[in-house]
């Protein structure tokens, strides 16, 4: 039977829209908080009862809603944020679709009371479930708006039964408040549940107050190990805090990324961050971060999902490269000199039990001075310059081989036997001077802050690994021609990508020719990858190119081999080192990027201040 086309009733259309916008009580809080922030509020108070199933109330001191606009406030596709298509191309507000209040009102008992900044008079508009008839009455209310939502999903019991426990639903609400509190520092937030106050933040107007809020929301341990980052490039700015690799987590539960103040989950962003952290994280670990990306609103499309959690960048490849390179350099900047200063500041801060003291000496939104480091920034393939690249000679490997061989040699061959200075002068190196070796595993050193303990194998492993990568970047890898070309069957789209990226593959030691619409012939491969599953690697690389416009699969495979070589080439446990040898290792760590973590993400050294040592032995009590 062929059914006729019917026009949906407004109520049914709103409830369908509510299924996209209102997933649970936390979705309601998100929409109401974003409206309050868009209204210019500096204080937002949230009251919750029974995990939000009974009551959700948001009160703000923003500009309010004009009395004549109150009936429209609950109408679908009614908004003050945009008026024309040009406005949609450069959305600067958090809300703009005009569906939230109408969708919420269709599945709850909603009342909205507002006093507009111009009139000074308050009015209340109410709507309840199926009727959707808005009634406006005079009310008493200070400047701003209060939205009260009761009995969510009371008229859609099928959806109400899918809600979780009170504790779970309130946990989702707390996470929403946390995410918005981390980016809107100029706004004060208070949250109470069943009459009990859970969060209370005053507006943060200076760096110390911002840092204190981050410390409360993300934990002091995150802040103590955080790496501040502040990078600006044409059209883009990235700032915030990178979690130290040594503080990586088992779940991706502390990752906060914002685009123009909007919380987003984006595949391009996630891939860029994973790429930047790939050399310093242990397997199955996830980095923690609080990062803010600022860009031209016209360069990002925020209207790709009803909940506005996803965005689409107009120049995805450019954004990916900027994020990956900036974060990679930020992690490389956490060298030993910088770390020792941060350790000292955190030690002084913790002694006063005030995390804000850290700000007095170092702003969280700017990178501190760095000591010279080796240039280990990777070179992502430039998709527009494949044809401009001249492939390297396959015999250009002597420099790389010499560099690798020289650094795998014992440290004793490169150590000067000069007298050791005392570690209490202003020019003492960050890691100080070696005192002794413990059980053939750890190096004890003294610096101006106190005691430094170094895992010599982990530290040397990182040094060897970085030298191997640097030698590869300078000399590239030897390419090994195959006796018989290997044919790889691909899709037509994959074969097109392989043909376009031929020059980039040559740069990495591959010689690939297209021989059919859906096949390529591999005639040479990097010598180090002769045991690799070539077909799987090639398909993974092309899949990355299709999704992100670039790939680091080959570099990752080579780095895995380098990591294995570094592990076997580093000094082993129970290897006795002389003091000059230990000091040579410390000096090399101070000049090498990423030396604070080994290749597997483990810390290589730890600073203990004099205050820490005094606490251990109760000195001063």
Mean pLDDT of the residues in the chain = 77
Residue 325 in tokens: 């390179």
Q: Does domain 384-621 have CATH number 3.30.1540.20?
A: yes
Topology of domain 207-360 in CATH is: Ribosomal Protein S5; domain 2 (3.30.230)
Hunting for tokens 């080439």 — which residue is that?
Answer: 569
For residue 349, is pLDDT > 90?
Answer: no
Angle at 199 between CA 195 and CA 205, to 5 degrees: 140
Share of the chain above pLDDT 90, in %: 27
> 298 near 348, Cβ under 8 Å?
no
Phi, psi of 45 (to 5 degrees): -115, 130
pLDDT tens-digit series, residues 378-389? 233 332 322 232
pLDDT tens-digit series, residues 240-266? 999 888 788 888 889 999 999 888 888
Residue 53: predicted pLDDT: 92
Q: Pick the residue with more confidence: 562 or 517?
A: 517
CATH architecture of 10-201: 2-Layer Sandwich (3.30)
pLDDT tens-digit series, residues 511-558? 899 999 889 999 988 776 666 677 887 887 787 777 666 666 667 666
Q: What is the model's pTM?
A: 0.68
List, by residue range, all CATH 3.30.230.10 domains of the chain: 207-360
Q: How far apart are CA 573 and CA 576, in angstroms?
A: 8
**With bands split at pLDDT 50, 70 and 90, how would you rate the model's confidence at 355?**
very low
Which secondary-structure segment (H or E) carries 466? helix 456-475
The b-or-e profile of 389-399 (16+ CB within 10 A means b, else e) is: eebbebeebee
Looking at the chain, how many residues does it have? 621
SS3 assignment for 302-327 = CCCCCCCCCCEECCHHHHHHHHHHHH
**With bands split at pLDDT 50, 70 and 90, how would you rate the model's confidence at 422?**
low
List, by residue range, all CATH 3.30.1540.20 domains of the chain: 384-621
List, by residue range, all CATH 3.30.565.10 domains of the chain: 10-201
> 447 near 340, Cβ under 8 Å?
yes
Phi, psi of 397 (to 5 degrees): -135, -5
List the beta bridge partners of residue 271: none
Give mean pLDDT, residues 62-87: 75
Residue 11: predicted pLDDT: 63
First to last CA, the chain: 89
Residue 4: predicted pLDDT: 64
Rg (CA), the chain: 29
Please choose, from the candidates 224, 214, 231, the residue with its C-alpha nearest in 3D space to the C-alpha of residue 272: 231
pLDDT tens-digit series, residues 434-444? 999 998 899 99
Pairing of strands 450-455, 442-446: antiparallel
Neighbours of 240 (CB within 10 A): 23
Give mean pLDDT, residues 7-12: 68
Choice among 120-134, 424-438, 476-490 with the minimum mean pLDDT: 120-134
């Amino acid at each position: 039977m062929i059914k006729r086309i019917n026009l949906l009733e407004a109520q049914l259309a709103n409830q369908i829209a509510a299924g996209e916008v209102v997933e649970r009580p936390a979705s309601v809080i998100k929409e109401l908080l974003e409206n309050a922030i868009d209204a210019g509020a500096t204080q937002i108070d949230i009251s919750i009862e029974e995990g939000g199933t009974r009551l959700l109330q948001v009160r703000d001191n923003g500009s309010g809603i004009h009395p004549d606009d109150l009936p429209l406030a609950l109408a679908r596709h009614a908004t003050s944020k945009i008026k024309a298509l040009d406005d949609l191309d450069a959305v600067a507000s958090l809300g703009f679709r005009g569906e939230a209040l109408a969708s919420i009102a269709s599945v709850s008992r909603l009342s909205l009371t507002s006093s507009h900044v111009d009139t000074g008079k308050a009015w209340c508009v109410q709507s309840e479930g199926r009727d959707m008839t808005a009634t406006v009455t005079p009310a008493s209310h200070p400047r701003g708006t209060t939205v009260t939502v009761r009995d969510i999903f009371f008229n859609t019991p099928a959806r109400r039964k899918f809600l979780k426990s009170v504790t779970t639903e309130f946990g989702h609400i707390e996470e929403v408040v946390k995410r918005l509190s981390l980016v809107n520092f100029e706004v004060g937030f208070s949250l109470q549940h069943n009459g009990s106050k859970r969060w209370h933040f005053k507006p943060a107007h200076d760096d110390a107050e911002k840092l204190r809020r981050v410390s409360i929301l993300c934990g002091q341990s995150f802040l103590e190990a955080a790496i501040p980052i502040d990078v600006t490039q044409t059209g883009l700015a990235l700032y915030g805090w990178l979690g130290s690799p040594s503080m990586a987590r088992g779940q991706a539960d502390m990752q906060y990324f914002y685009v123009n103040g909007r919380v987003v989950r984006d595949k391009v962003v996630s891939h860029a961050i994973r790429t930047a952290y790939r050399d310093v994280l242990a397997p199955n670990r996830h980095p923690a971060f609080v990062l803010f990306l600022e860009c031209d609103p016209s360069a990002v499309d925020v209207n790709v999902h009803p909940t506005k959690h996803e965005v689409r960048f107009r120049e995805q490849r450019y954004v990916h490269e900027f994020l990956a390179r900036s974060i990679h350099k930020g992690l490389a900047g956490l060298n030993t000199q910088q770390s020792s200063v941060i350790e000292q500041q955190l030690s002084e801060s913790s002694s006063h039990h005030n995390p804000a003291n850290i700000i007095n000496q170092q702003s969280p939104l700017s990178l501190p001075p760095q000591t010279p480091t080796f240039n280990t920034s990777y070179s992502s393939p430039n998709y527009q310059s494949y044809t401009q690249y001249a492939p390297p000679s396959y015999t250009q490997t002597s420099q790389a081989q010499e560099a690798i061989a020289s650094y795998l040699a014992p440290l004793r061959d490169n150590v000067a036997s000069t007298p050791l200075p005392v570690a209490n002068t202003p020019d003492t190196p960050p890691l100080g001077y070696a005192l002794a070796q413990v059980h053939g595993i750890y190096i004890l050193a003294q610096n101006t802050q106190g005691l430094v303990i170094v895992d010599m194998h982990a530290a040397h492993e990182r040094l060897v690994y970085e030298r191997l990568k640097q030698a590869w970047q300078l000399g590239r890898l030897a390419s090994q021609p195959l006796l018989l070309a290997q044919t790889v069957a691909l899709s037509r789209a994959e074969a097109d990508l392989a043909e376009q990226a031929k020059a980039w593959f040559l740069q990495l030691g591959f010689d690939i020719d297209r021989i059919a619409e859906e096949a390529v012939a591999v005639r040479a491969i990097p010598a180090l990858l002769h045991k690799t599953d070539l077909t799987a690697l090639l398909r993974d690389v092309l899949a990355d190119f299709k999704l992100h416009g670039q790939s680091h699969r080959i570099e990752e495979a080579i780095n895995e081999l380098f990591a294995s070589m570094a592990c076997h080439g580093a000094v082993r446990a129970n290897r006795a080192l002389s003091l000059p040898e230990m000091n040579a290792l410390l000096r090399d760590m101070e000049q090498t990027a990423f030396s604070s973590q080994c290749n597997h993400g483990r810390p290589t050294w730890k600073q203990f201040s004099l205050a820490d040592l005094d606490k251990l032995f109760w000195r001063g009590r």
